[in-house]
């Protein structure tokens, strides 16, 4: 029954189609087949169709400057077909500019843009097989939701005269197309659960509803690539979490390529297959969320990803190539030149906090004073200052249960000891790049903690 519905919409063409390269954005496949594919994965015809609805994106050597300031420097980025890629970076790093260049709303000074294997530099935004969701949603405030959703379809399917106000409705032979547009809108609205809102104006909608309408307007065209420019930043925190999961589900359902721009590292970490981190107009690292977190290529990435932020401690390379932190050798070796000043990154959860009364074990146990405790319920974030070693601030994160044990062992409530595992150190060289490090053979575990 599902298969007939799927073919029915495509009419006679569904049998004749083969896996052909899309060369024209006007050729559209039905995404609702894709939705059904998820429910019934045995339908091969639809799966083939779904393969074709997504497009890969390849940006190479993109340069962009406004006046004297260089906004984008030599950007090379490939988004695979069907991938959810997040472009993340602090405000003003150029990520939105990059998205606008990809959408055709801005022109690069140099470099090439390929969408679905086609060079898109000279194509207008509407010809690029993309759809975009804006941070402000950019819904047309004077149109009902229905007309907002219809806009891309009207522009793509009706000739100029038929689009004119008033007289457009006098053009013969358009009623079939208008009906088709109407039914597409109905299907998209249904899949997003906004059917009840179709006759309303955007000003009568809540933020979450507007967000859905903006998403719907992107979906009706069945684009190969969805571009999203911080689409969740105008939602309140609870709704943001909900829409986050919905977006991920939608992306899987549509099997479309998503390029998602955000400055929120939580969104980047939770939603995407891969993250592209941008800093000061350059791509610093493109990797999976796990890789970005565990092995940030640059100290700026390390600082940007992770909440609470990573601890950065100044250190130095010793004469044997070992790392000296607070003047002590850390039983960790690198290939960096002896004497070089380096920085060590330690994630808050890699900072062990033990009670003051605990006997001193490993040499790297330090005395620390508690500055502030943030209790998040399931875990505790403790802001500490290492006493003695230049009053360095350190943030630790530990499960509530462990913290309760530390507290139960008594002693001065403001004083604890802190343990650092050298094998979890992220070593950044003088230029801020991640350096390879390996444990020295005689390295011992931190007995006191383990």
Identity of the residue, 133 or 406, whose beta carbon is nearer to other proteins in the bound complex: 133
Q: Taking CA 24 as the corner, what is the angle to CA 23 and CA 27, rounded to the nearest 5 degrees?
A: 115
| CA count, 13 A, side-chain hemisphere, 98 | 37
Q: Distance between CA 190 and CA 441 in Å, rounded?
A: 63
Is 394 in contact with 386 (CB distance < 8 Å)?
yes
* Residue from 322, 279, 351 nearest 427 by CA: 322
Is 392 in contact with 402 (CB distance < 8 Å)?
no
- Kind and range of the H or E run holding 393: strand 393-399
Q: State residue 322 phi and psi, 5-degree precision.
A: -85, 165
**What minimum distance in Å lies between the beta carbon of 215 and other proteins?**
13
Q: How many CB atoms lie within 10 A of CB 57?
A: 25
Identity of the residue, 143 or 448, whose beta carbon is nearer to other proteins in the bound complex: 143
Rule CB under 8 A: choose which of 41, 66, 105, 430 binds other proteins.
105
* Residue from 193, 221, 224 nearest 209 by CA: 193
Sole window of 135-143, 182-190, 296-304, 334-342 interacting with other proteins (rule: CB under 8 A): 135-143
Sole window of 98-106, 291-299, 362-370, 434-442 interacting with other proteins (rule: CB under 8 A): 98-106
- Structural tokens at position 301: 């990435």
The CA–CA distances, whole Å, from 354 to 404, 441, 444 equal 11, 26, 18
Burial class (CB in 10 A: 0-12, 13-18, 19+), 67: exposed
Sole window of 141-149, 190-198, 349-357, 371-379 interacting with other proteins (rule: CB under 8 A): 141-149
- Structural tokens at position 25: 């954005």
Sole window of 14-22, 134-142, 352-360, 369-377 interacting with other proteins (rule: CB under 8 A): 134-142
Identity of the residue, 41 or 136, whose beta carbon is nearer to other proteins in the bound complex: 136
Rule CB under 8 A: choose which of 13, 160, 319, 441 binds other proteins.
160
**What minimum distance in Å lies between the beta carbon of 313 and other proteins?**
44
Bridge pairing between strands 257-262 and 225-229: parallel
**156 counts as binding other proteins under rule CB under 8 A:** yes
* Sequence-distant (≥ 6) Cβ neighbours of residue 447 within 8 angstroms: 361, 362
Rule CB under 8 A: choose which of 31, 89, 108, 152 binds other proteins.
152
Sole window of 12-20, 61-69, 151-159, 266-274 interacting with other proteins (rule: CB under 8 A): 151-159
**217 counts as binding other proteins under rule CB under 8 A:** yes
Identity of the residue, 99 or 342, whose beta carbon is nearer to other proteins in the bound complex: 99
Rule CB under 8 A: choose which of 143, 171, 248, 448 binds other proteins.
143
Q: Which of residues 164-203 bind other proteins (CB under 8 A)?
A: 164-165, 201, 203
| CA count, 13 A, side-chain hemisphere, 415 | 11
Rule CB under 8 A: choose which of 124, 169, 179, 341 binds other proteins.
124
Identity of the residue, 138 or 239, whose beta carbon is nearer to other proteins in the bound complex: 138
Identity of the residue, 169 or 433, whose beta carbon is nearer to other proteins in the bound complex: 169
> Could you give the strand order of the β-sheet that contains 69-79, starting from the edge strand earlier in sequence?
69-79, 57-66, 110-115, 118-119
String marking each residue 238-257 x if it binds other proteins according to CB under 8 A: --------------------
Rule CB under 8 A: choose which of 126, 191, 234, 343 binds other proteins.
126
> Could you give the strand order of the β-sheet that contains 225-229, starting from the edge strand earlier in sequence?
130-133, 225-229, 257-262, 84-88, 274-279, 282-287
Burial class (CB in 10 A: 0-12, 13-18, 19+), 254: buried
Rule CB under 8 A: choose which of 38, 47, 123, 151 binds other proteins.
151
**3-state helix/strand/coil string of 121-140:** CCCCHHHCCEEEECCCCCCC
**67 counts as binding other proteins under rule CB under 8 A:** no
Rule CB under 8 A: choose which of 80, 134, 146, 273 binds other proteins.
134
**123 counts as binding other proteins under rule CB under 8 A:** no
Identity of the residue, 225 or 394, whose beta carbon is nearer to other proteins in the bound complex: 225
**What minimum distance in Å lies between the beta carbon of 199 and other proteins?**
15
**161 counts as binding other proteins under rule CB under 8 A:** no
**263 counts as binding other proteins under rule CB under 8 A:** no
Chain residues binding other proteins by CB under 8 A are 100, 103-105, 124-126, 130-132, 134-136, 138-143, 151-152, 155-156, 160, 163-165, 201, 203, 217, 221
């Amino acid at each position: 029954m599902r298969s007939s519905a799927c073919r029915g919409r495509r009419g006679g063409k569904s049998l004749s189609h083969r896996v052909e390269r899309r060369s024209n954005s006007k050729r559209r496949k039905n995404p609702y087949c894709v939705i059904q594919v998820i429910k019934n994965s045995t339908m091969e015809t639809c799966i083939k169709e779904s393969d074709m609805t997504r497009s890969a994106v390849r940006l190479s050597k993109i340069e962009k400057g406004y006046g004297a300031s260089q906004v984008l420097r030599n950007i090379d980025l490939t988004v695979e077909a069907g991938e959810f890629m997040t472009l993340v970076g602090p405000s003003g790093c150029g990520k939105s500019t990059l998205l606008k260049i990809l959408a055709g709303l801005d022109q690069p000074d140099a470099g090439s843009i390929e969408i679905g294997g086609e060079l898109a530099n000279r194509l207008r935004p509407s010809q690029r097989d993309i759809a975009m969701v804006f941070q402000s949603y950019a819904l047309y405030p004077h149109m009902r939701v229905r007309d907002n959703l219809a806009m891309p379809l009207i522009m793509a399917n009706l000739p100029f005269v038929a689009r004119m106000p008033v007289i457009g409705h006098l053009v013969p032979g358009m009623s079939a197309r208008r009906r088709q547009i109407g039914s597409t809108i109905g299907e998209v609205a249904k899949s997003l659960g906004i059917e009840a809102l179709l006759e309303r104006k955007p000003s009568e909608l809540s933020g979450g509803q507007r967000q859905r309408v903006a998403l719907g307007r992107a979906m009706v065209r069945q684009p190969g690539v969805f571009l999203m420019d911080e689409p969740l930043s105008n939602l309140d925190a609870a709704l943001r979490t909900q829409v986050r999961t919905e977006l991920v589900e939608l992306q899987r359902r549509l099997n479309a390529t998503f390029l998602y721009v955000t400055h929120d590292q939580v969104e980047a970490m939770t939603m995407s297959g891969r993250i592209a981190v941008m800093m000061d107009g350059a791509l610093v690292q493109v990797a999976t969320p796990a890789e970005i977190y565990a092995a940030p290529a640059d100290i700026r990435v390390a600082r940007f990803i992770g909440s609470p932020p990573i601890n950065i401690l100044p250190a130095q390379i010793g004469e044997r190539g070992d790392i000296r932190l607070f003047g002590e050798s850390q039983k960790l070796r690198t290939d960096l030149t002896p004497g070089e000043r380096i920085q060590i990154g330690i994630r808050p959860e890699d900072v062990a906090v033990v009670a003051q009364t605990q006997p001193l074990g490993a040499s790297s146990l330090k005395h620390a004073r508690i500055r502030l405790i943030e209790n998040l319920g399931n875990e505790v974030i403790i802001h500490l200052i290492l006493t003695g070693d230049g009053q360095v601030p350190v943030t630790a994160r530990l499960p509530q249960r462990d913290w309760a044990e530390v507290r139960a062992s008594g002693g001065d409530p403001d004083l604890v000891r802190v343990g650092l595992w050298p094998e979890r150190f992220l070593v950044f060289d003088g230029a801020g790049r991640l350096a390879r490090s390996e444990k020295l053979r005689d390295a011992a575990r931190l007995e006191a903690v383990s």
